[in-house]
Chain A
Amino acid sequence: SQQGEEDPQALSIQEGENATMNCSYKTSINNLQWYRQNSGRGLVHLILIRSNEREKHSGRLRVTLDTSKKSSSLLITASRAADTASYFCATETSGSRLTFGEGTQLTVNP
């Protein structure tokens, strides 16, 4: 099975609500990154959190990392219809590649 696995696979919320997506991984990491992908487009980097960090903020995004549980969460506050996209976590392990999960499809309804 892959290194990063997102949960849930799909999430549908109303505009203004918060959206939380989770990522679990199996091996020790140097850092974890979150990317966003609009339908049929390339991935856009959102935020990177290093293994010695526990929480990071960027605008309406909040990422947490729990290395003891090998998990991370991405919180989008006050969601907008434009936030509709797939969200991927990617893990970097020592001397290795970025490994992506299957993604969470987020739909924000107006």
Chain B
Amino acid sequence: ETGVTQTPRHLVMGMTNKKSLKCEQHLGHNAMYWYKQSAKKPLELMFVYNFKEQTENNSVPSRFSPECPNSSHLFLHLHTLQPEDSALYLCASSPRTRFTDTQYFGPGTRLTVL
């Protein structure tokens, strides 16, 4: 285990549902990330948080809403998603947002939007 946990591991939701993904890291890191991994596409960075502050939003649609209440927890709130949003959503953390630091990934949440 990498010290980064994600729940739920699998999620099926309709386009009108509202759900949240949770990520927790037990490594004492200060930076946390959300990535989207779709089939046949490179890993896409969505959001970056450093010391609870959002430092990067990679032009992500507003139907994805991140929340970082503290350096150990990161949420991704989902509402009115589209079928093309189905993907594996990965959370990661690192000591700092300097990317020279190794990133530690959680196991991911497999999201299916019907």
Contact = CB atoms under 8 A, between A and B. Distances in A.
Interface string A79-90: 000000000101
B28 to A, nearest CB: 17
B68 interface: no
A100 B102 contact: no
B43 interface: yes
A78 interface: no
B100 interface: yes
B110 A30 contact: no
Contacts of B56: 97
Contacts of B110: 40
A42 B107 contact: yes
A42 B45 contact: no
Majority secondary structure of chain B interface residues (helix, strand, loop or mixed): loop
Contacts of A41: 107-108
Nearest to B97: A97
A45 B102 contact: yes
A96 B55 CA distance: 12
A78 B57 CA distance: 42
A102 B40 contact: yes
A88 B99 CA distance: 16
Contacts of B92: 42-43
A30 B42 contact: no
A64 B45 CA distance: 26
A42 B90 contact: yes
Given A42-B2, A42-B107, A48 B102 contact: yes
A84 B111 CA distance: 24
A2 B99 contact: no
A36 to B, nearest CB: 10
A8 to B, nearest CB: 15
A92 B106 CA distance: 21
A88 B43 contact: yes
Interface string B35-74: 0000011110100100000001010000000000000000
Interface of B: 2, 4, 6, 40-43, 45, 48, 56, 58, 88, 90, 92, 99-100, 102-108, 110
